[in-house]
């Protein structure tokens, strides 16, 4: 199987921003570990990140027919991007929503996701392992 791990706005700063919340490892380091995890199980993954909402929608549109699953951490777009929700709904590729932090234990505005309803599922609160668990869910 081939997966797309897609990170949204501000996730490029992982390791530098709020390390107490998102950990000290960079996105590049985390992606390296995810690539090794997938490869060890005989699968493949591509990694993309963008701070631009429309670009994330384009990546999701282009995933059609190319990937078996998308692991998506949309960052703050999670909480209000109807455009991203529509992009997910428009493709047949299953999407698993992830968050490194437990958004349910944080500010009120983080508790709502406009994406979950069109995703296969949601994994949150396990740091970088949220990505691992999301990938694992495709392998069950």
Which chain residues interact with ligand DQA by CB under 6 A? 10, 73, 75-76, 78, 99-101, 103, 110
Among candidate residues 67, 77, 99, 131, the one labeled active-site is 99
Given 22, 67, 77, 131, the catalytic residue: 22
- Secondary structure, 3-state, 59-116: HHHHCCCCCCEEEEECHHHHHCCHHHHHHHHHCCCCEEEEECCCHHHCCHHHCCCCCH
Choice between 36 and 105, CB closer to ligand DQA? 105
Q: Write down the least CB distance from residue 57 to ligand DQA, Å.
A: 17
Choice between 10 and 116, CB closer to ligand DQA: 10
DSSP 24: S
Catalytic residue at 99?
yes
**Measured from the CB of residue 110, what is the shortest distance to ligand DQA in angstroms?**
4
Cβ atoms 123, 98 nearer than 8 A: yes
For the bound state, the minimum distance from the C-beta of residue 132 to ligand DQA, rounded and expressed in Å, comes to: 14
Please list the active-site residues: 22, 99
């Amino acid at each position: 199987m081939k997966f797309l791990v897609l990170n949204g706005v501000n996730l490029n700063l992982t390791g530098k921003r709020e390390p107490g919340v998102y950990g000290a490892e960079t996105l590049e380091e985390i992606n390296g570990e995810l690539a090794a995890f997938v490869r060890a199980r005989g699968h493949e993954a591509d990694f993309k990140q963008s701070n631009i909402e429309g670009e994330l929608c384009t990546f999701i549109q282009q995933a059609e027919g190319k990937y078996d699953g998308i692991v998506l951490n949309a960052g703050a777009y999670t909480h209000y991007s109807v455009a991203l929700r529509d992009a997910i709904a428009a493709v047949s590729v299953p999407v698993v929503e992830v968050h490194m932090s437990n958004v349910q234990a944080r500010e009120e505005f983080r508790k709502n996701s406009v994406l979950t309803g069109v995703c296969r599922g949601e994994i949150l609160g396990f740091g970088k392992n949220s990505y691992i668990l999301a990938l694992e869910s495709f392998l069950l």
